[in-house]
Structure 1
């Protein structure tokens, strides 16, 4: 399963520049809240994580009964694809999990010569599509879509469900979660693993039409989160000002890192997140990644045949680790 490579490096102890993990730890308030709840871990949380659902409802402007919470957004995505993934339409390159779990899928390519930018008004939904997927900001390039055309798409294709995966919406982009009550074919998924630095706490949620939210809530554990996870999530969402400030810092580090790579002759593409795509051609990204790993730097090639072997996705680390990465990369390129 190639999607396993999205989940970081496990016990790898060197510098990690993989996509999924935010290099910043949880905010202090989240750590304190989780520590406080550890001593009460002999008790379940409230059913369906009610306090967290209520907070999310207030923040996004959608009714509480339309919110489903589970242990990470991947579990929710897999359940949605199991129900609606008979014929999936993807904007590619995209999150590697989606082609894996779609029973069948079609693609509409985002083009490097356009910096992977795309007008959703040009989205073509093939006949028979059961699920159309939009990732905003997009993974793996970090670009954002103008979501203004979405309501028209929803109206023109009432038999197709549209999944908008907002895993990185805490970093940039225009959320459409508030539109879910208006459109019965709109599904929105989110996670607190990215901008909110809670990947290890496993907190994901979705905003769905009532029948789908009821179905997921009634067919899942009513107590999906550990008490420390729920407490960390609530504390983090109560301090979104800090998350926004951290997002700006992460993007500044990302832009500085991309500039360093361009100085080495590497082509990079625009991003609004803490990761970006780089084309190392004529070098082979897989070979570079292997050489970097031997020097305790974990990174991965994109492995998208349509783009070629030079593409690699790069996530910012902390500035001191970025400096070590650039210095090591300079040596590796010199001997490649």
Structure 2
């Protein structure tokens, strides 16, 4: 299963640029909050992570009843695909998990000739589609969709569920959570693994219509999060201004890394996140990745048969690791 390579790289201790992990550690407040809960780990959290649901409800202006919390957003995405994924429409390239867990899918291709930009008003939803998925900002290219056309799409296709995966909304883009109470076919998922640096704590949540939220909550573990995870999530969301400061720093490092790649003749595509797509053509991305791994740098080819063998998604590391990556890449490409 190729989505396994989206995870934490196992025991790999070198530089990792293939993942969408945030290279910055959790904020100090999150670490302190988690640490303070460790001695109380013999006790369950409040049922259904009530304090966290209350905070999310307050910050988003959404009823608590519409909020579902679970141990990471991937689990929530799998639950939604189990319910609605009979015939899925994807905007590709997309998160590698989605084609794997859809029972059947069609696709609208995003074009590199247009820098993977796309007007959602132009999307054609095939007859019989049960679930349309829009990732905003999009993974793997980091671009943002203008969501102004979403209400019209929701109204035009009332029998199709629309899943908006906002995993990276903490970095860029306009959220559509406020539309959920108005549309019974709108699902929004989020995670604290990305902009909020809590990937190892496994905290994800969704904003869903009452019927969907009730179903997921009634069938879910009443205690989905460990006490340290819940505490870290609350502390992080209470310091959102710090998260936004860090997001700006990450985007700066990302652009600096893209500039360095372009000096090596690599084409990079616009992004508003801390990762981007790069085309190494005429070089083969798989061969480059293999040679970099021998230099203790973990990266992977995109392996998209339509785009071809030159593409990689690259996530920024810390600046000193980015410099080591560029130095190693220069050696690899000069000998290719």
**TM-score (structure 2 length as normaliser):** 1.00
Superposed, 1:53-132 pairs within 5 Å as 53-132=53-132
Shift >3 Å, 4+ stretches: none
**Is 1:181 the equivalent of 2:181?**
yes
State the SS of the aligned residue for 2:117: coil
State the SS of the aligned residue for 1:300: coil
What is the distance in 1 between the residues matched to 2:159 and 2:277?
34
Offset at residue 20 of structure 1 (A) = 2.1
Which blocks of at least 5 consecutive residues in structure 1 are unaligned?
none
Cα offsets for 1:66-112 (capped at 9, x unmatched): 00000000000001000000000000000000000000000000000
What is the distance in 1 between the residues matched to 2:251 and 2:20?
15
Superposed, 1:158-169 pairs within 5 Å as 158-169=158-169
What is the distance in 1 between the residues matched to 2:220 and 2:300?
34
Offset at residue 18 of structure 1 (A) = 1.9
State the SS of the aligned residue for 1:68: strand
Offset at residue 11 of structure 1 (A) = 1.1
What is the distance in 1 between the residues matched to 2:109 and 2:19?
21
What is the distance in 2 between the residues matched to 1:148 and 1:63?
23
State the SS of the aligned residue for 2:83: helix
Decide whether the 8 Å contact of 1:8 with 1:20 is kept in 2.
no
What is the distance in 2 between the residues matched to 1:61 and 1:113?
39
Q: What is aligned with 2:245?
A: 245
Superposed, 1:1-336 pairs within 5 Å as 1-336=1-336
State the SS of the aligned residue for 1:330: helix
Decide whether the 8 Å contact of 2:142 with 2:273 is kept in 1.
yes
**Root mean square deviation of aligned Cα:** 0.4
Decide whether the 8 Å contact of 1:8 with 1:18 is kept in 2.
no
Decide whether the 8 Å contact of 2:30 with 2:233 is kept in 1.
yes
What is the distance in 2 between the residues matched to 1:116 and 1:278?
12
**Residue correspondences, number:** 336
Decide whether the 8 Å contact of 2:20 with 2:275 is kept in 1.
no
What is the distance in 2 between the residues matched to 1:305 and 1:289?
17
Cα offsets for 1:18-74 (capped at 9, x unmatched): 232100000000000000000000000000000000100111111100000000000
State the SS of the aligned residue for 1:149: helix
Offset at residue 125 of structure 1 (A) = 0.4
What is the distance in 2 between the residues matched to 1:19 and 1:251?
16
